[in-house]
Amino acid sequence: MTVKEIFETMDYGPAPESAAEALAWLAEHSDGFGHFIDGSFTKPGAGFDSRNPANGEVLATLTQATPADVDSAVAAARAAQGKWSKLGGPGRARHLYALARLLQKHARLFAVLETLDNGKPIRESRDIDVPLAQRHFYYHAGMAQLMEKTQPGREAMGVCGQIIPWNFPLLMLSWKIAPALAMGNTVVLKPAEYTSLTALLFADICRQAGLPKGVVNIVTGDGDVGRMIVDADVDKIAFTGSTEVGRAIREATAGSGKSLTLELGGKSPYIVFEDADLDSAVEGLVDAIWFNGGQVCCAGSRLLVQEGVSEDFYRRLRRRMDGLRVGDPLDKCIDIGAIVDPVQRDSIARMVDSNTEGETYRAAATLPASGCYYPPTLITGLSPASTLMQDEIFGPVLVGTTFRTPSEAVELANNTRYGLAASVWSENINVALDMAPKLVAGVVWVNGTNMLDAAAGFGGMRESGFGREGGWEGLTAYTRPTGKPKPLSKIEAFTGDKGPEDGIDRTAKLYIGGKQARPDGGYSRGVYSKSGTLLGQVPIANRKDIRNAVEAAHGAKGWPAATAHLRAQVLYYLGENLSARAEEFAKRLDQMTGNRTGVKEVEAAVDRLFTYAAWADKLDGDVRAVPLRGVALAMREPVGVIGVLCPDEAPLLGLVSVMAPAIAMGNRVVLAASEPFPLAATDFYQVLETSDVPAGVVNILTGNHAELAPTLAAHADVNAVWSFSSTDLAATIERGAAGNLKRTWVNNGQSRDWMGEEGEGQTFLDAATEIKTVWVPYGA
Ligand code: NDP
């Protein structure tokens, strides 16, 4: 036999990783696992089996948490939190470092246990999941060390409830626990029912590392246990999983004051241009959709390939698919392991079998005779609206279609309710970097896919959820401003029966799309001074007016695309023009509120406009050094159209304080003016009209906050809703926002000092922007 023949006929022999150590660790717990609460394992109780999906064998018996278990885990976390926070950043950094070291020392045990429990190939758990988990603890040990210097004025949230899925059990645990602990929080975490074992091994590691009792608590069980955590006395919920459950959690926490971050599903486009290196793009697809059997929230599951190369590309892809090896996950030469559970495999099969469109190609791979497997599958020629192009399959199934032009690629890519990730393949840097900002996705990989790192923020747009994990932006989800907030009581409008002092009728209008508009309903109400004199009439806006305003805001497409320099100039001009009418505004404010703070308020409003004019061209993105052949750009993008219920107590300054950061960052706004004192806002549109603010960028409505809030919150084309109203609208807004999972920022019935530091700064700029992480090849 010649060497050539040997090469051509060579096949893989079995290369099994030993499971002995992991099985021995499991054998130590043969009477079952309890929960890890307050530093020790509870006695095992009634529960369920955890099985190896590769062969169906029972690996361990786990305990289903009861409400009492969850209560005691939360109580332990609560009791430990003060001391853990007071330990200080450097003190906590040592503990995180110890955890990172122990994760390294026990890396192989973690990898094997993960593979046994989840079915993912050992190659992945050993080379990706576990090293990334270690990296997260190292990175956040650093964040803890630096917290006091880099996060002045911020402190831990308190107790965090964390709920994670089964696709990256240890990695998701690290993404949740490391930043929480670094910032001084304590946690109660629930792993997924299918895959709890590495979380329990991690609990063991916490003991070994000497982590103070109660800092990490782990409770096991099904979705009911998740619900119990959501309802428990915790300060924050961090969830990764399906959009459906994410939405339910948004509704369940509405109005509770609990902070929430959601990392949900995706249907991420994988875009191949005709000038791409096609073989690299094919290889990339192996990582995009067959990594972890496609059970990846950011999987490149939707292939969009340029028409001219599509046949060639599909041919190369099918050939590569036929080379994929599916089988025993513990075999080091296996590409695709087992699907996590028969329930998931059946769901994949059901979705694929119900499809009648396009052409289905199944890889030639031989599947093991038993165990939970599904073949790598490619379905091409689907229409954009097809169910398989829109819904997450969460398995090794790639669906695709073709496009002709870059703009068609953008349209197809963004034709989804999700917005988690996207890959762009092109050897032309202009094409690739032109696409990146146009894709609605929290993460964009250029000539790459599924790259993840602790330094690079990860998270979604649209129904893929909100909040970021990793990077500096990930820390805001685990901290809050220091200080005790004061309650805000409802501010009522003055009433009266005296006509205007000068007898002149002053009836304001709404301000929509750069024009003064009569209210749809045709109703208005009188605004009176403290002594009961009529100061003017304002319209009562209704849902139709909101719809018109949102449409006008969307029409102002040029604003987010305008240069920051231009936006700065407009804001300076607004400041200048307001300043020119300072006296008149001050008088109006004093008449409306009955206070004598008008002069100061106008001064502060002018100053605020100048502040955000200054920020407009200075809040840059930044570049993250990631340990891969590339850099990750953290780009700040505007959120979109923001609806704001403006503060009642500072009629002009409050409006300016929310409008200015929003428009400085390229958003368009629909502002519901101070309910009791709306005349400063209706005067302000004259300033807008004279300051070159493009039509539709700022829209001003007057009316009843409680009536306007539900429409704003439920509007599918509004991207974020903020409320600083003295009417407590937190529950209404957060519940309404669950529909399209829009971002919310509500005051939870607490006051804010608009004149002081609380009234401006980073918090506003952060809320007005979202980080898009763009991975770009760089260096060797
Ligand atoms: P879920 O969203 O149901 O589960 C995620 C986690 O939430 C699990 O720990 C689960 O518990 C828990 N949970 C379930 N219901 C509730 C609830 N009402 N309140 C609080 N917690 C709850 O995802 P699944 O695991 O069921 O997977 C279903 C689909 O979700 C997949 O097919 C896939 O499409 C998608 N998915 C997306 C992921 C992502 O990263 N974006 C990850 C996993 C799944 P339990 O362990 O009992 O299920």
Q: Say how far apart CA 147 and CA 129 lie, in whole Å.
A: 26
Q: What residue ranges do the domains of the chain occupy?
A: 60-264, 269-450, 490-612+637-751
In Å, how far from its chain's centre is CA 527? 41
Give the number of the atom of ligand 1 that is nearest the alpha carbon of residue 266.
Answer: 41
Contact present, 47 and 64 (Cβ < 8 Å): yes
The confidence band for 725, taking pLDDT boundaries of 50, 70 and 90, is: very high
Protein residue with its CA nearest to atom 10 in ligand 1: 223
From 230, 242, 462, give the residue whose CB has the most ligand 1 atoms within 8 Å, as the site to mutate. 242
Residue 7: the pLDDT is 86
Spacing, Cα 239 to ligand 1 middle (Å): 9
Residue 501: the pLDDT is 84
Cα-based torsion angle of the residue sequence 334, 111, 398, 770 in order, rounded to the nearest 10 degrees: -150
Six-digit token string for 153:
């004025």
How far CA 51 is from CA of 111, 116, 329, 340, 396, in Å, comes to: 16, 8, 14, 9, 21
Six-digit token string for 110:
């973690």
Residues in the chain: 780
Contact present, 621 and 636 (Cβ < 8 Å): yes
Dihedral sign from CA coordinates of 220, 221, 227, 231: negative
Protein residue with its CA nearest to atom 29 in ligand 1: 242
Q: Where are the beta strands (DSSP E) in 355-434?
A: 359-362, 377-380, 397-403, 421-425
Residue 780: the pLDDT is 61
Whether residue 500 has pLDDT greater than 80: yes
Tell me if domain 60-264 and domain 490-612+637-751 are identical in fold. yes
Spacing, Cα 185 to ligand 1 middle (Å): 24
Q: Say how far apart CA 654 and CA 724 lie, in whole Å.
A: 9
The hierarchical CATH code for the domain 269-450 is 3.40.309.10
Q: Say how far apart CA 657 and CA 481 lie, in whole Å.
A: 18
Residue 11: the pLDDT is 85
Give the number of the atom of ligand 1 that is nearest the alpha carbon of residue 296.
Answer: 40
Spacing, Cα 73 to ligand 1 middle (Å): 21
Contact present, 252 and 230 (Cβ < 8 Å): yes
Residue 10: the pLDDT is 86
Quick: pLDDT tens for 373-388.
999 999 999 999 999 9
Q: Collapsing DSSP states into helix, strand and coil, what is residue 411?
A: helix
From 118, 234, 245, 350, give the residue whose CB has the most ligand 1 atoms within 8 Å, as the site to mutate. 245
Quick: pLDDT tens for 289-315.
999 999 999 999 999 999 999 999 999
Spacing, Cα 2 to ligand 1 middle (Å): 53
Protein residue with its CA nearest to atom 19 in ligand 1: 227
Which residue, 667, 647, 639, is CA-closest to 723?
Answer: 647
The CATH homologous superfamily to which domain 60-264 belongs is Aldehyde Dehydrogenase; Chain A, domain 1 (3.40.605.10)
Helix (H) / strand (E) element for 408: namely helix 406-413
Residue 502: the pLDDT is 83
Quick: pLDDT tens for 124-139.
999 999 999 999 999 9
Protein residue with its CA nearest to atom 6 in ligand 1: 165
Protein residue with its CA nearest to atom 13 in ligand 1: 223
Give the number of the atom of ligand 1 that is nearest the alpha carbon of residue 190.
Answer: 9
How far CA 450 is from CA of 35, 74, 284, 383, in Å, comes to: 33, 34, 9, 25
In sequence order, the 6+-apart residues with CB closer than 8 A to the CB of 95 are 181, 209, 210, 211, 212, 215
Residue 503: the pLDDT is 80
Give the number of the atom of ligand 1 that is nearest the alpha carbon of residue 393.
Answer: 34
Quick: pLDDT tens for 594-605.
999 999 999 999
Spacing, Cα 390 to ligand 1 middle (Å): 19
Taking the CA of residue 262 as centre, how many other CA atoms within 13 Å lie in the half-sphere pointing to its CB?
Answer: 30
Residue 8: the pLDDT is 84
Backbone angles phi, psi at 453, to 5 degrees: -160, 150
Residue 1: the pLDDT is 82
Residue with structure tokens 């040592």?
Answer: 94
The answer to whether residue 770 is catalytic is no
Average confidence (pLDDT) over 305-327 = 98
Annotated catalytic residue within 17, 114, 263, 649? 263
Residues with CB under 6 A from ligand 1: 163-167, 190, 192-193, 222-223, 226-227, 230, 240-242, 245, 248-249, 264-265, 297, 392, 394
Which residue, 378, 420, 376, 384, is CA-closest to 401?
Answer: 384
Whether residue 166 has pLDDT greater than 70: yes
Residue with structure tokens 């090896």?
Answer: 325
Six-digit token string for 404:
């002709």
Whether residue 504 has pLDDT greater than 90: no
Give the number of the atom of ligand 1 that is nearest the alpha carbon of residue 265.
Answer: 41
At the second CATH level, the architecture of 490-612+637-751 is 3-Layer(aba) Sandwich (3.40)
Which residue, 214, 208, 218, is CA-closest to 170?
Answer: 218
Spacing, Cα 469 to ligand 1 middle (Å): 18
Spacing, Cα 242 to ligand 1 middle (Å): 5
Spacing, Cα 164 to ligand 1 middle (Å): 7
Protein residue with its CA nearest to atom 38 in ligand 1: 241
Protein residue with its CA nearest to atom 9 in ligand 1: 192
Give the number of the atom of ligand 1 that is nearest the alpha carbon of residue 249.
Answer: 19
Spacing, Cα 141 to ligand 1 middle (Å): 29
Protein residue with its CA nearest to atom 43 in ligand 1: 241
Quick: pLDDT tens for 682-700.
999 999 999 999 999 999 9
Quick: pLDDT tens for 522-579.
999 999 999 999 999 999 999 999 999 999 999 999 999 999 999 999 999 999 999 9
Residue 9: the pLDDT is 86
Give the number of the atom of ligand 1 that is nearest the alpha carbon of residue 264.
Answer: 41
DSSP β-ladder status, 236-240 and 259-263: parallel
Contact present, 419 and 442 (Cβ < 8 Å): yes
DSSP β-ladder status, 377-380 and 359-362: antiparallel
> What integer best gives the mean pLDDT of the chain?
97
Quick: pLDDT tens for 45-74.
999 999 999 999 999 999 999 999 999 999
